[in-house]
Structure 1
């Protein structure tokens, strides 16, 4: 890959999922998104990279049998120095749970959480720069942090990653967008008491699909769940679903793709 493909620090550059049943999970996402798989770095146990038309879009790893962590898609934010960023996370009230450690020749990573407990990763790219395709059906197209309120947590991401935080002024919604170099890269949504108690604050990955309704039906057929049926929103047509192990994600047919 060329230097031009390197993600600007603070930009979501990868999504990864840790599960108990790696083979069954690959079957689910292959059927849902058309992903194919190749082995990735094995530092944290068995791990595969998902490919779409030969381009890397996501990673899936296998948890040790005795680890009972929440099964969740985790976004990774790009950094030029994982160790320095990890120190910044700690000094700003976050936690570094794993790493920083080298993932073979691919890069250096850590798994962290913000001050209210939402888990995310950081990625210092070497050979592997992250998601190579974003936009076509089957690719991650957006990440949103669901949290209690956006103001204080927005300051954390601004302090650690240099994000510009742009609140949406509204009496009804607590919502802000994170920008890097003037470009929106992720969003923050304050849900207050409406945040699901069993999950707490968490990052949500949106995956593009050609047809939200058909994809939601397929999720059910494949053993997943539909938590919130398809509906029209500003971003496009959305459905909130889980895979068979309970990892929550959003299906979206983006409004922009309809316009196109």
Structure 2
């Protein structure tokens, strides 16, 4: 297993969390699909579960507040040296701070924010809980990317908020089905930004990818568990992938891992 034993550098994706209407149904879907087990997480913001893979945390499941009409969705969280400071930068750069910053028990400090186009993401200042502890292996997060109509504005926004380089890849990238820009931390790409062609009518959003050993098998299992296949399986520059939906409409992507 590819273990993450140190705290992620500021601006790096460090956690993903699903906000669901039915936590039991979410466990019954994602548990067998990705090989997860579940433990209790912080309760300050409502009932919350941590998904574990081989005993280490890789993702979270939270409960949507009833009656507000929010969609079931996955949220990407970025590591913050100071959640309060980064939340102020989000505001200064034209984004919105929707929740927090708040203390999540002893686990850490969190804020839910959105960028200029309304794409929602989280800021996480890890304390007892630094973030995911495995990446890129079957069942763990593999990649996350922003779908947005304004790649240039998004690149400037995230570069300013996190204080890291966001590099445009070049005009040939869309033809190769690659990201249009890459957020880099210490020279290493950690997340992608993809232009409006990938939105397929949906709102701007961060899209989460999970590694699986066999994309076709995972897509078939998702259907058997009550989910849907939205696209694929198909080959991409990153390997075979498929876009899926869980039974409550939460979208995510699975990508084949060589691990």
Q: TM range, normalised to the smaller chain?
A: over 0.9
How many aligned positions are there? 252
TM-fit CA distance, 1:98: 0.6
Does residue 122 of the first structure (1) align with residue 126 of the second (2)? no
Q: Encode CA deviations 1:59-109: one digit per residue, 9 max, x unaligned.
A: 001112212212111010001100010000001010011100000000000
| Alignment partner, residue 101 of structure 1 | 102
Task: Confirm or deny: 8 A CA contact 2:100 2:110 kept in the other structure.
Answer: yes
TM-fit CA distance, 1:229: 1.7
Q: Distance in 1 between matches of 2:200 and 2:103?
A: 34
| Alignment partner, residue 10 of structure 2 | 9
Q: Distance in 2 between matches of 1:63 and 1:30?
A: 19
Q: Distance in 2 between matches of 1:216 and 1:115?
A: 33
Gapped regions of structure 2 (runs ≥ 5): none
TM-fit CA distance, 1:172: 6.5
TM-fit CA distance, 1:54: 0.3
- Map 1:197-216 onto structure 2 (within 5 A): 197=201, 199-216=202-219
- Map 1:4-153 onto structure 2 (within 5 A): 5-153=6-154
TM-fit CA distance, 1:171: 4.9
| Alignment partner, residue 180 of structure 1 | 185
What is the root-mean-square deviation of aligned Cα atoms in Å?
1.5
Q: Distance in 2 between matches of 1:71 and 1:236?
A: 27
Task: Confirm or deny: 8 A CA contact 2:5 2:133 kept in the other structure.
Answer: no
Stretches of 4+ aligned residues off by more than 2 angstroms = 171-174, 194-197
> Which stretch has the larger CA shift, 142-151 or 161-170?
161-170
What is the TM-score of this pair, normalised by structure 1? Answer: 0.94
What is the TM-score of this pair, normalised by structure 2? Answer: 0.94
TM-fit CA distance, 1:170: 1.6
TM-fit CA distance, 1:253: 0.4
TM-fit CA distance, 1:195: 2.2
| Alignment partner, residue 196 of structure 1 | 200
Task: Confirm or deny: 8 A CA contact 2:173 2:180 kept in the other structure.
Answer: no
TM-fit CA distance, 1:128: 0.4
TM-fit CA distance, 1:181: 0.5
The 1:171/1:209 distance shift into structure 2, 3 A limit, reads closer
Q: Match of 1:28, SS?
A: helix
| Alignment partner, residue 250 of structure 2 | 247
Q: Distance in 2 between matches of 1:253 and 1:195?
A: 22
Gapped regions of structure 1 (runs ≥ 5): none
Larger RCO (CA under 8 A, 6+ residues apart): 2
Q: Match of 1:44, SS?
A: coil
